[in-house]
Amino acid sequence: MNIQELQTRSANQCELCAATTGLKVYEVSAAPKSVRDTEIYICEKCMAQIDKKADLEQAHWQELLGTAMWSEVPAVQVVAWRMLNRFRQESWAADNIDMMYLDEEHMAWAKASGDHENDAEVELHRDCNGAQLNAGDTVVLIKSLDVKGSTVNAALGTVVKNIRLDPNDTGYVEGRIEGQSIMIKTIYVKKQGAEQML
């Protein structure tokens, strides 16, 4: 489905929450070959939470999933079912799951990601104060660190700019100190400017 068809189908709104800004095409994962339309048009906020790149906001999802689950678009239904299952410990989500109907093919698609077996917990890179770290952030060391295999000593208060996130472990970020690229435990860094956000 091309972007114009998605925009027309969605009336230029997020197909989940009806937001009108920051809209993007989202490919719903694990679709069987027999399903043609596997894309939905959603906002960046919904996308980040679906992809576990941001904390789940129950208030954001509670009302919209009750509407999205009745969509005539199978891909929207599949995403709604998956997201409801992340909140399955909440009575409102459990009630909606009990009411929701997906045919056999679409239920298999919904379950194929395995997302329904996970909880709402999202593992993100976080600094010593719990502030979310993103690629490109600037952090400050809260402890002096010796760099293994090097004579470099990263002193307390050292500023590390333009960090990269370890894709395999949320407990580490990568940064450059004295021209050397090193892995740093997130418990030893504080996001610069995070005091204002907390």
Point out the least confidently predicted range of 42-51, 60-69, 173-182: 173-182
Indicate whether 195 pLDDT > 60: no
Tell me the whole-structure pTM to 2 decimals.
0.72
What tens digit of pLDDT does each residue of 63-103 get?
899 999 999 999 999 999 999 999 999 999 999 999 999 99
Domain-located, residue 97: yes
> Could you give the CA distance from residue 2 to residue 25 in angstroms, rounded to a whole number?
9
What tens digit of pLDDT does each residue of 51-63 get?
888 888 999 999 8
Strand 153-154 to 145-146 pairing: antiparallel
Indicate whether 147 pLDDT > 80: no
Indicate whether 154 pLDDT > 70: yes
Domain-located, residue 54: yes
**What is the CATH number for 147?**
2.30.30.40
Last residue in a domain, options 85, 117, 149: 117
What is the reported pLDDT for 180?
Answer: 86
* Residues 6 or more apart in contact with residue 101 via CB below 8 angstroms: none
